[in-house]
Each structure stands twice: as structure tokens, then as C-alpha cells.
Chain A
């Protein structure tokens, strides 16, 4: 097995007295597409947000391509200096449920922003790159409009282009279609599928079980404060071994035919 792109070991997070998860271990190999499923409130989004340190884990270790992030201490807790947060986030792309585009910038401005402000590129090449990424998500013709003019699906595709422009080593998707009208879900899933086919490494928190089955090579089911069951889509989604996974899938299948 090749060296993992991302290795989480012993990751733990709680809010006040509420333990979200404890002792999560996960290896993500290059090209892995891991779908993270679980009931709402099970901590799947929090886990994803710990990967790029939008949430700071209470304990555990994060390694990105062999680089240990932060300064793990003997207590198991790690300190994450601001500079390391920024370094990590440059290398990890994130797509949010609510898109979070910058409304005061054009579409191309949104995509180029990280290149200019974070990577220090000049505006010419940054715009070129932004246009190329917009091309990839099929929105090059919208480059000079403002986000308020776009549909939800288009906004999310711009958000994906914004993350891709930074050349991330891994992409994180946090329920990327949950805020969309059903009619707009397809175009966003199409883009994600295309990235999966290009061999991009990704972690995907989603409620779209059918899509997860189709696109992911591994499924991680989160319950009881950790990864409850993990395996190939066939293993976890068709023949779940453990009770809570079976129950979750039964509930989600209730309305599918």
C-alpha cells in the first residue's frame, strides 16, 4: 500500500461535555474517495472540519503526505500555530454546504483570490488559472458575473473551482448538495464524479447514499463517537455487518425504490 496522503490517528473532539468522537484512525491513500456517512449529529462534519483544522481536535495526530501537522505534545494534545494552520489549509481544499462564495467579488475573482492573496501570484496568471478551473466546472462564461446572479448549483461549482485552484492534495466536501434544490443536485454531483474519475483524493460527507455507492471506493460509517464500520461500498452499503449501519441504511432505504 502506498504511503497515505492523509493519516489521522487517535483524533478526538468534544464540545464542552459532549464528546463528538474519540480515537478516530483513518488512512487515506492517494486516489481514495472516501464517503463519510452517518446519522445527523454523529460528528461527520466535525471530523471533516478537523482535517483542515477549522475545528481544532482535542487530541490526536494529523499527517499530510508524511508531514506531521502542529506540535503534538506528550499529553496527546497538539498545539497548532497559526502558520501551520495556514500551511495545512493551502494544501487541503474545502467545499462547504452553504458555498460561502465571496459576494463582493466576481466569479473569477472568487476563484483567483487564494492564488493572489495566499500564494502571491500576480493577477494575470491567477485569472488565467481561475478561468481554466471555471472551464473545468463548466462556468467559464460566468467569470465576470457576481455570485448573486448564480443558481445554487452554479455557486457550488464555483466553490469547487475555488478550492481546486489551490492545487490541493486532498479535497474535503462537507455535504456539498444538502443546501440545493433537488433539480440542482445532479450538476454538482457530476462535477464531483468527474474529479473522482480524474483520480483526485477526496473525503466526502454526504447524505446521497446512492452517489456514495457510485463514486466512493470506501465508505466510512460514523457512529458511537468513531468510525463504526469501514469498507468498500459493497461491504458497507450492501452487506453491512454491524447493527447501527444496518439500521441507518434501512431507514434511508425506506423511501427509495
Chain B
């Protein structure tokens, strides 16, 4: 195969990709924080005493786990404004779709982590007079989070990659900008190679860092 790789045409448009990267990072940060914290809340909701709360949390998880993120993003962007008098920006639609989906998955991870803590830990905390919430905050969650860091890392990586789905509503992120550059310069091979490489270059160090964190936290056990 005689293909003349021409990365110059990609790097000439580096600013377009830089703008895209900025959009990707912004969307990732928002979805990571929203997805994980909402996930924790939903996980706690699934253990609540009040039946309606339990039921609603379970319904939330099942709904968002069993519908595709791509469809959710499209639905929030095109369908929701028809139902409600709201204007949804591409950014908003992407945040809603990705965060809610991630919340459903991370809720299951948190739930598993919480359930893995031995009943004796609850009893010991309750026996010195802690409330259920104090026990959760001081005793159960710190141990549970340590155990689920590998799964949460996976979730974070997944969120980062899911940001590319936002291109479907023309949110300015890395893939969207890549498409733009490729269509202007007819160089999809080079552009998409660079886009993929950028994801790898950003994600790999982050994943390495969480391995380090895992090791550091494991030291006390």
C-alpha cells in the first residue's frame, strides 16, 4: 500500500484541535463530577428506608443503564425542547446524556462497594453511638471507595471517551473538530489517527496515576 502520510495538514490546523480538546476536557470534568456524585446519591437512595426513594433510585438506574447514551443525547437535544419550554444547548444535552448514564453505572459500583463492607463494621460504629449517616461517612464509604477505585477509574475512562458522542449534536469537542479538519483537507486518516492518539496520550497518564493512588491507599490495609 502506497499511502503518503501527510500529518502537516493536520498540524496546520492544530488550533482547531486545541479548541476541540478544550471542549472535550470541559465536558469530561463536568460529567465526571456530576456522574460520580449523582451516582453516590442514587446508590444511597437504593438503600434508603423510604420505599418511594428506593423505587425511584432503582428505576433511575435501570432506565439509564438500558438506554444508549447516543439516543439520550439526541433525545435531550431534539425532543426535550418540544416537551418543555427550555432551550437545550449541545453542551447541556451532552452533559445530561453522559452524566445521567454514568450516574446509573457508578451507582451500581458504589452500591457494590458499600455492600462489600462487613456487617461488623456497621455494628462497631453503631455500638459507639454513631448515626447511620455518620457510619456511612466515617466508616463505610472510606473503605468502600478504596475497594472500588479500579472500577471508578474504568468509569472515568469511559466518561472521557463518551465525550466524543457529543459530536452528534455538534458540540465542539475533539472528534467534532477532527471531522471539521478532515472535511476541509480531505485527510481523515491522518486526522482520526491524531485524534485517537490524543485520547491515548491524555488518558494513559491519568490511569497510571490512579494505579499509584490505589497502591498508596492499600498501604493501610
Contacts and interface: CB of A to CB of B under 8 A. Distances in A.
Interface of A: 52, 54, 82, 85-87, 89-90, 92-94, 96, 98, 100-104, 113-114, 117-118, 146, 148, 159, 162-163, 166
A118 B124 contact: no
B116 interface: no
Interface in B119-175: 120-121, 123-132, 134, 138-139, 142-143, 146
A113 B143 contact: no
A104 B220 CA distance: 6
Interface in B5-26: none
Contacts, number: 68
A102 B130 contact: no
B124 A101 contact: yes
Given A103-B220, A117-B134, A54 B128 contact: no
A100 B220 contact: no
Nearest to B134: A117
Nearest to A98: B120
Contacts of A101: 124
B168 to A, nearest CB: 43
Given A102-B121, A102-B139, A104-B146, A90 B129 contact: yes
Contacts of A114: 128-130
Contacts of A159: 124
Given A102-B139, A103-B220, A148-B220, A118 B130 contact: yes
B148 to A, nearest CB: 14
A54 B123 contact: yes
In the A-B complex, the 9 residue pairs with the smallest Cβ-Cβ separation, listed nearest first, are: A100-B124, A114-B128, A90-B129, A100-B120, A94-B127, A118-B129, A89-B129, A146-B220, A86-B129
Nearest to A172: B127
A104 B132 CA distance: 18
19 contacts: A86-B130, A86-B131, A87-B129, A90-B128, A93-B127, A94-B124, A94-B127, A98-B120, A100-B123, A100-B124, A102-B139, A103-B220, A103-B221, A104-B221, A114-B129, A118-B130, A163-B127, A163-B128, A166-B128
Given A82-B131, A89-B128, 15 more contacts: A52-B127, A86-B129, A89-B126, A89-B127, A94-B124, A96-B120, A102-B139, A103-B143, A103-B220, A104-B146, A104-B220, A104-B221, A114-B129, A118-B130, A163-B128
Contact of A117 (B121, B130, B146, B220): B130
Contacts of A104: 142-143, 146, 220-221
A113 B135 CA distance: 11
A26 B137 CA distance: 37
Interface residues of B, number: 21
Interface of B: 118, 120-121, 123-132, 134, 138-139, 142-143, 146, 220-221
Contacts of A103: 143, 220-221
Contacts of B142: 104
Contact of B124 (A87, A90, A96): A96
Contacts of B128: 89-90, 113-114, 118, 162-163, 166
Nearest to A52: B127
Contacts of A96: 120, 123-124, 127
Q: Which of B118, B128, B132, B142 has the most CB of A within 10 A?
A: B128
A148 B221 contact: yes
Contacts of A163: 127-128
B129 A100 contact: no
B147 to A, nearest CB: 11
A117 B121 CA distance: 15
Nearest to A146: B220
A126 to B, nearest CB: 12
A102 B141 CA distance: 12
A166 to B, nearest CB: 6
A200 B134 CA distance: 29
B121 to A, nearest CB: 6
Nearest to B124: A100
A178 B11 CA distance: 70
Interface-centre pick from B118, B125, B134 (highest chain A CB count, 10 A): B125
